[in-house]
Each structure stands twice: as structure tokens, then as C-alpha cells.
Structure 1
């Protein structure tokens, strides 16, 4: 179905436990109900969609998976155009975006450990030492991943 995959700051752990708790929290903060994704939290839909649990079933297509640590990075300043000198926006990006990114870093580390143990060399992991869950980093990731995506699409 897909020629390549890109995941920017995603939590690949969805089974009951800490990964599922991260997903529930983020979706709730956004005003959603995470049970609308794969059914009840204790149901079979959550582990069935967990890439860490099902790593051996992942397709062997090119993948680019990236996350940062949640520690403030170059786009986490008042001077960044996306922040526009707004102290409230910066505080939200640092606190909420930093927390979410720390969670995605944990999830991505678990996925990398699992896929590396399986010898899956089709995945390029990009673990950034700093950065929050925010658009500046994803724009960089899109540029960084584009050669892989373009090649998989034949463009």
C-alpha cells in the first residue's frame, strides 16, 4: 500500500501501559477520545496496532522515524517566527511540547531497540538531542526525509 513511511514525533507504543497512556493524554489534551481510534483501552485493537509489539510484521520499505528529547532547542525561543515573541506560546511549546516530545522519544527508543534487534536496516532513525513537539523541527524533518520519500515515489 505504501512505498515509504515517515514518522515525525510519533508514539509507536499503543498497547496498554505507558505508551497507551501517552496517547490517551495527548488526544485528551486536544479534546478527543482516544477510544475512537481502536476501541476500548483494554480491547484487542490497541496491541493489534502497536508497531513495537508487531515490529516483525512491519513492511521492509524505507522508513524515516524521528524524535527529539523535549529539551528546548533552536526553535524554542521568542525570536522564532512561529512563536512571534509571544511568551504564552513559548511557555506552551516548552511545557506541553517538551513533555510530549519526551514521551515520543521514549516510544521511539523502544521501537528502535525492537527493530534493531530484528535486524531491520530499512529504518533511518533520527534522534535529535534537543527540540520540542513543534512545527520547526517537523519542517526540518520533512526536508531531511524528502530524498527517501521522493525516491520511493520515483520522483
Structure 2
């Protein structure tokens, strides 16, 4: 599989001069001053040492080095990734008829985590394992880093920059197809940061996914509140936010190429679902969480605008903008149940 489409992938910029760095510092200061909240921190859970056997290598040398069986249908993989320069985990839920049909190939749903979490998020916080056990498609949950933003980072043009998009698209997808008999019928759903990642992956790789879903995800990275949240989440995780896409002033093309609302025409042929609450505590909130309220508040308006832009571009899109609800797992669990029948139908076509 290829890297991002040539007309959306900007050329790398050379390492900035001292004058450029002086411009970056005040820009960061302004964004950090505007940031009123960081993205929710969810404690990752460690896994025990996995078991072999190793897997055949990917197209660029990526390979599954360890497999740990967690249950009859759940596996934790360790992938040696050239794109990331290290090993990373991926969780897989097998279809209910996987063993019964050893030569059959199955559709696959990719689930993407949010900021400050890891690949265990969906099975830890939702009943996706139960849903998957009754379905005939694979569910794959790759690690996305504490704040990886599902991107190959600009990172001042450093040769060892993180390459999350390459890891997921060019390494994980082919390995899952070879080792776990996935076919080319794919869906991708993410929450929060993962919602932005799901939309960007579908737009930057047209035709790769039949379905893309975003639960409480940013749909317009030019929005001031969204930029502030991105900056704050990176700072919360202890790194310079400029490393991801540079600054909007100095790398405008790079920011645009990771902005879903700027790529609506590239979503044709992909069915889209969007959801967001208004930030006010709703029926599923068990406590008063100010951060979860702040993070969700700007999302309904940009979600609505993005959905309208998709419709103008001829994209089939459904929306669920609920009158009350915060940036929290009970709403994402509910949304997963809402879309599951449609995802199953789309993948089975």
C-alpha cells in the first residue's frame, strides 16, 4: 500500500533556521495560553510477555514477532516496525467462524484509540469483545501512541521522526491480511483523537475503507479550540507540539493535508458516521467532569459543518449530534452499538 496521495502529501521542509524557531516560540505561547484543557488521560495497562511464532515480514520489513493468546478469540500481537524503529502492540479479535473456515478471508474493522491511552482502550472500556464474538469480521486495535495523531510527523525533518500513519497503513494492514486472512473490505472508527485519525486515514487513502466513523473527533483542525486542544494534549504528554505538523503559519499545506474538512471530495465512496455531544452533562454522566465538558463543547458545530460539506461533495453521511453528553466513554460505548449493525452490513457487501 502506498503513502498518502501525492497531491495531499506536502514536501518535507528543511530544519528551520533560528529566525523560524523564534517565530515558532511565540506561536506556541499563544496556543498554550488559549488551551483551556488537555485531552483525557486514561491509564494504560501492561500486558504479559507474549508467545511466538514469528510472522512473515511485511512489504518493508515489518513483522509479527510475538503472539499472545488472551482468549479463544482475542490475540495480542507484537509488531517489529521499521516505520517506528521499535516494536508496538496490536490487539485482534477474531470472527466467530474464524476457526471453522480456515480458508475463508474476512472483512476487518479497525478501532483507533484517543489521546493518553493505548491499544487496550476499546476492550477495556466497551463491550466490543462481546459484539465481535457474534460477528463475522475481524476487529483490529493498533497502538497509536499517547499523542501520535495518526500521522507521519514533520519533526523538524529528523530522519527518526515517528511515522504512525506508515505503521498503521503500510505495515499493520498488510500483516493482518497475510497472517489473519483479512480481505479488502475495511472499516475504521475512532474516538476523540482517533476520530480525527479515522477520517484522515479514509481521506488520505481514498478507497481503502468502505466506512469511517468519528466519535467526538475533531473534524476541522483550523478551529481555534481544536488547535488549542491538540497543543495542550501534546504538552501534557511531554513533547513539543510543533513536531507533529509544524505550525499552521509555517507549514499550512501540512496542516491542510491533515484537516478532514479540507478533504471532503476524497471521501467519495466511503460511508461516514459522525457523532458528538454538546458538552453538557447528560444521562450517561455519573459525575461532574469539567474537562470532559470542555473538550466536547466545540465539537457539535464543526461536526455539523463537516457533515454538510460531505453531503455537498456527494458523500453518504449519518450524524448523531445529541443534545446532552460529554467527552467520555459511556457515550462512545453507546455510539458503538448504534453503528455496529451498519458497519456489519457495509463490510459484508
- What is the TM-score normalised by the length of structure 1? 0.77
Alignment match of 2:269 (pick from 46, 57, 60): 60
Count, aligned residues? 140
SS in structure 2 of the partner of residue 145 of structure 1: helix
Asked if 1:38 is matched to 2:245, the reply is yes
* Aligned with 1:101 (options 296, 318, 322): 296
Worse overlay, 22-31 or 102-111: 22-31
Cα distance in 2, alignment partners of residues 120 and 59 from structure 1 = 7
Instruction: After TM superposition, give the deviation of residue 98 of structure 1 in Å.
Output: 0.7
**Greater share of helix residues, 1 or 2?**
1
Q: 1:73-131 deviations in whole A, cap 9, x for unaligned?
A: 01212xxxxxxxxxxxx34xx31111111122232122123223x15351111111110
Contact 2:265–2:313 (CA<8 Å) still a contact in 1? no
Question: Between Structure 1 and Structure 2, whose CA radius of gyration is higher?
Answer: 2
Query: Does the 8 Å CA contact 2:268/2:315 hold for their aligned counterparts?
Result: no
For residues 99 and 18 of structure 1, do their structure 2 counterparts lie closer, same or farther at Cα, with a shift above 3 Å needed? closer
Change (3 A) 1:136 1:73: same
Query: What are the ranges of 5 or more consecutive residues in structure 1 without an aligned counterpart?
Result: 78-89
SS in 1 for 2:298: helix
SS of the residue aligned with 1:5?
strand
Deviation at 1:40, TM superposition (A): 3.0
* Higher RCO (CA-CA < 8 Å; seq separation 6+): 1
Aligned match for 1:137, one of 328, 331, 346: 331
Displacement of 1:17 after TM fit?
A: 4.2
Q: Evaluate the alpha carbon distance shift between residue 110 and residue 49 of structure 1 in structure 2; reply closer, same or farther with a 3 A threshold.
A: same
Q: TM-score, normalised by structure 2?
A: 0.37
Taking the TM superposition and a 5 Å limit, the aligned residue runs for 1:53-92 are 53-77=262-286, 90-91=287-288
Q: Give 2:306's aligned residue.
A: 111
8 A contact 1:13–1:20 mirrored in 2:
no
